[in-house]
Amino acid sequence: MKKMLFVLILSFSSLVWAALPAPVPLGQFLNTPKLVVVLVIDQFRSDFLIRLQDRFQKEGKDGQVGGFLYLMNNGAYFPFAQYEVMQAMTCPGHAQILTGATADVNGIPLNEWYDRKAGKMTYCAEDAEFGISPRRLKTTTVADEMRVVGRAGKVLSLSLKDRSAVMMGGQHPTAAVWMSSDSSKWETSSYYGKQLPNWVEALNKDLKKDLNSPYVWKTARFEKEFSRGNKLSLTSPYGTEILVKLASEAVVQEKLGRGEKTDFLLVSFSNHDFLGHRTGPLAPEIEELTLVEDQQISKLLTLIKSEMKSMKDVLIVLTADHGVSPKVEDLQEMKIDAGKIDDQELTERVNTTLNKRYGVPANKKWIAATRSFNFYLSAETLKQKKLASEKIQEEVRQILLQQYGVWKVFTASDYQKGLFPPGQLGEQIKSQYVSGISGDLIIIPRPYYMEKEGLMTTHMTGFSYDRQVPLILVGSQFRSGVYSHPARMTDLAPTLAFALGVTAPSGSVGQPLPIFK
């Protein structure tokens, strides 16, 4: 009996030990990379890498490093990493990638929200003093933590979208550069310094020279012509090419990865999202653009390899800020329940109902603003009518719930009282609701129901298709292979912090992934 118990205990404890990742040799742990490259593809669903694998560039072909297949083959690959969000979008996604913090901690739950004090809409990267800055981001990134201990070299954050470059760049990178709103030149804000680096100015001269000249996108399946510098041109490979040119110049001119300290090159490919909103994730155009991204990433990695002489001191991350839903029309054709919800129509219904109940308010508004399924009640109207916000929240909730496609409605009062739905949804709301920023009411739609906003499709939910993204980490410290481990995106920053031997970012809530050799 005693012997049996002993065997039982022994086998139990060996089971526990087997479940723990093997320890990392000290030399390996202390051997930190010289260059961290983070590649984010905006709106990159998990399945792109799997669906298009046969069409990606082979590793090592024509002396090139390779693109997606190189990363998938050589990295710790989590095909379905997850954001714990109730609303997946660009600014919150990019704010989470390198902070490892959820919105309740980092302060960025939405792209845009209604500023109750100012009485107008505001933008996640807006700054009264500098125009654009990361000052609304309340926690640090991995690169910020490296700066704190004097171990960060240069930190360059580049994207077509300002919010992506700003949020990934963290509190104060060496430079954050993005495409101007008229799509004609690279720009930055004075928050980051007085002017753009010289090599960016030189690229701007080239862009100006070619402005308005035709750009032809020719594939076996279609041919399209764009005008360079026109907003639409950014939905084509032109957007990918100029971004990779910018990143390549950064590698060469800033001598990234060749200094004493660790450099960071952060690149977000926004045009996948620009195009994806217009076509949905199943269209030939978005597939062809993914193949361009594959080739352009290979080109960038090949340049890095030739500049650094090898890839052994390079750590690469590939991931996305969020996924996307297929087009409603495509889903309906496949007999899958899907539809659109019209925020404006709902607002009118609320106004009509409450006008009948309480009379028309002086400003004629019960809802001050609506954006991304967040409804903000008019404080002025509530004051004028001497109505408690909580009471009207409940009445508006009942009106919204009558709309098919609206699954649940979460309110500011629910938040104040700690009334969260049970299970996963409750956790998602807790991690993303920010008092004072989030709406007085938030619509949680049914799966595959989305906001009607003039785009073909969108991403704004906490369901799998919006929340799951690929995550790949390539580096000499990692065990490559496909992991079924349920990686959370908040684990990425602590994993990078471990790989760099630095304290995890200030607001990070995740844990290092079990991928270390």
Give least dist CB 356 to Zn ion, A: 37
Type of residue at 176: A
Relative to beta strand 120-123, strand 112-115 is antiparallel
| Closer residue to Zn ion in complex, CB, 40/396 | 40
Type of residue at 210: D
Give least dist CB 285 to Zn ion, A: 16
Alpha-carbon span 499 to 256, nearest angstrom? 18
| Contact track, Zn ion, 217-256, x by CB under 5 A | ----------------------------------------
| Closer residue to Zn ion in complex, CB, 273/288 | 273
| Closer residue to Zn ion in complex, CB, 66/239 | 239
Give least dist CB 460 to Zn ion, A: 9
| Closer residue to Zn ion in complex, CB, 224/278 | 278
170 within 8 A of 141, measured Cβ to Cβ: yes
CB atoms within 10 A of CB 35: 23
Question: Encoding tokens for residue 300?
Answer: 């960038």
| Closer residue to Zn ion in complex, CB, 299/327 | 327
| Closer residue to Zn ion in complex, CB, 187/273 | 273
Helix (H, G, I), strand (E, B) or coil at 361: coil
Alpha helices (H) along 309-369 = 328-333, 343-358
Alpha-carbon span 119 to 378, nearest angstrom? 9
Q: Is the dihedral of CA 233, 472, 495, 517 positive or negative?
A: negative
What residues from 491 to 510 belong to the interface with Zn ion (CB under 5 A)?
none
| Closer residue to Zn ion in complex, CB, 166/315 | 166
Give least dist CB 324 to Zn ion, A: 7
202 within 8 A of 80, measured Cβ to Cβ: no
| Closer residue to Zn ion in complex, CB, 91/396 | 91
Give least dist CB 59 to Zn ion, A: 31
Give least dist CB 118 to Zn ion, A: 25
Give least dist CB 125 to Zn ion, A: 15
* Residue 406 backbone dihedrals phi, psi, to 5 degrees: -85, 120
| Contact track, Zn ion, 377-396, x by CB under 5 A | --------------------
Give least dist CB 277 to Zn ion, A: 6
Give least dist CB 233 to Zn ion, A: 18
| Closer residue to Zn ion in complex, CB, 268/480 | 268
| Closer residue to Zn ion in complex, CB, 303/456 | 456
Give least dist CB 89 to Zn ion, A: 6
Give least dist CB 443 to Zn ion, A: 18
| Closer residue to Zn ion in complex, CB, 91/292 | 91
* Residue 56 backbone dihedrals phi, psi, to 5 degrees: -80, 155
Give least dist CB 43 to Zn ion, A: 5
Chain residue at closest Cβ approach to Zn ion: 273
Distance of CA 115 to the CA centre of its chain: 23
Alpha-carbon span 37 to 254, nearest angstrom? 14
What residues from 262 to 281 belong to the interface with Zn ion (CB under 5 A)?
273
The string of DSSP letters for 59-121 reads: TTGGG---SHHHHHHHSEEEEEEE---SS--HHHHHHHHTT---HHHHS---SEEEETTTTEE
| Closer residue to Zn ion in complex, CB, 273/451 | 273
| Closer residue to Zn ion in complex, CB, 273/440 | 273
* Residue 443 backbone dihedrals phi, psi, to 5 degrees: -80, 130
| 71-75: Cβ within 8 A, 24+ apart | 71/297, 71/316, 71/318, 71/472, 71/474, 72/472, 73/480, 74/474, 74/480, 75/316, 75/318, 75/472, 75/473, 75/474, 75/478, 75/480
Residue found by looking up tokens 């912090």 in the block:
497
Give least dist CB 337 to Zn ion, A: 23
Alpha-carbon span 107 to 102, nearest angstrom? 8
Residue found by looking up tokens 């785009």 in the block:
455
If phi > 0 it is left, if psi is from -120 to 50 it is alpha, else beta; for residue 276 that is alpha
Alpha-carbon span 137 to 206, nearest angstrom? 33
Contacts with Zn ion: how many residues (CB under 5 A)?
1
> Where on the chain is the footprint of Zn ion (CB under 5 A)?
273
